[in-house]
A = this chain, B = another copy of it.
Amino acid sequence: MKAWALLGAPKNQWPSNIKAKLLAAKKSKDLIIGVDRGALLLEELGLTADLAVGDFDSLQKDELERIESKVSDIRYSLPEKDLTDSELIMRCAFCDYQVSHLAILGATGGRLDHFMSNLLMVLKPEFNPFAEKIELIDQQNSIKFYNAGKHTIYQIPDYNYFGVVTLTAVQHLNIAGAKYSLADFNGDYPISFSSNEFLSEKKPLELSLKKGTVAVIQSKDIDRFQNI
């Protein structure tokens, strides 16, 4: 079973097909998770979350009551908590529901301290084993995570660019089968190798590293006038 979590960042960074994506997921019996205000946003999209997580302090009383009356599994987090909401989702999704993958929507475009928490949570030892099962998705980016090993990565159709971001110190990082190669890179601090390109949709990128965790960001330009 796959899980989809909707967080509360502004809608203007949502993938354009978010409603169809989530309705299809619901139909496939995937787990739908609403995080804080995301639980309400799911309602507005015509879906009820299977699981809601958060302190819900951004909701009005009647909004929270609506969520509480409809959602069967609600996990209340504490504001002074050790785990962020996203970390709590990971624990629920992977440990309690044993999901195979977790796609996170609504994590970008708002407060960047939140975004950075969502990006970096896979580095914590408790969650690092799940790193390769997580994807952050917005209207023009897909972020996946890779630990030590050899990885074959295919282009998402129409996503012409990719970047490899070393989130930790890395050893023996290689990028092959792309426009710009990287051979046996070792680094002590994070660096973003951005604006690389796949050679074709059929030719995958070969990524390998001996130590560390990297994020691979596939992205596309959007219509230059779309957001004006």
Report A39 CB to chain B, min CB distance, Å: 14
A18-B61 Cα distance, complex, nearest whole Å: 36
Which of B113, B143, B190 makes the CB contact (< 8 A) with A167?
B190
**Which one of B84, B116, B167 contacts A189 once the chains associate, using CB atoms below 8 Å?**
B167
Please, how many angstroms separate the alpha-carbon atoms of A161 and B112 in the complex? Answer: 11
Q: Is the CB of A190 within 8 A of B168?
A: yes
Q: Are A13 and B140 in contact (CB under 8 A)?
A: no
Q: How many identical subunits does the complex contain?
A: 2
Interface residues as binary, A170-192 with B (CB distance below 8 Å gives 1, 0 otherwise)? 00000000001000000011111
Contact assessment for A217 and B113 in the assembled complex, using a CB-CB cutoff below 8 Å: yes
Docked CA distance A11–B227 (Å)? 6
Specify the chain B residue showing the minimal Cβ separation from A118: B192
Report how far A175 CA is from B11 CA in the complex, Å: 33
Q: Which of B58, B109, B191 contacts A13 (CB 8 A)?
A: B109
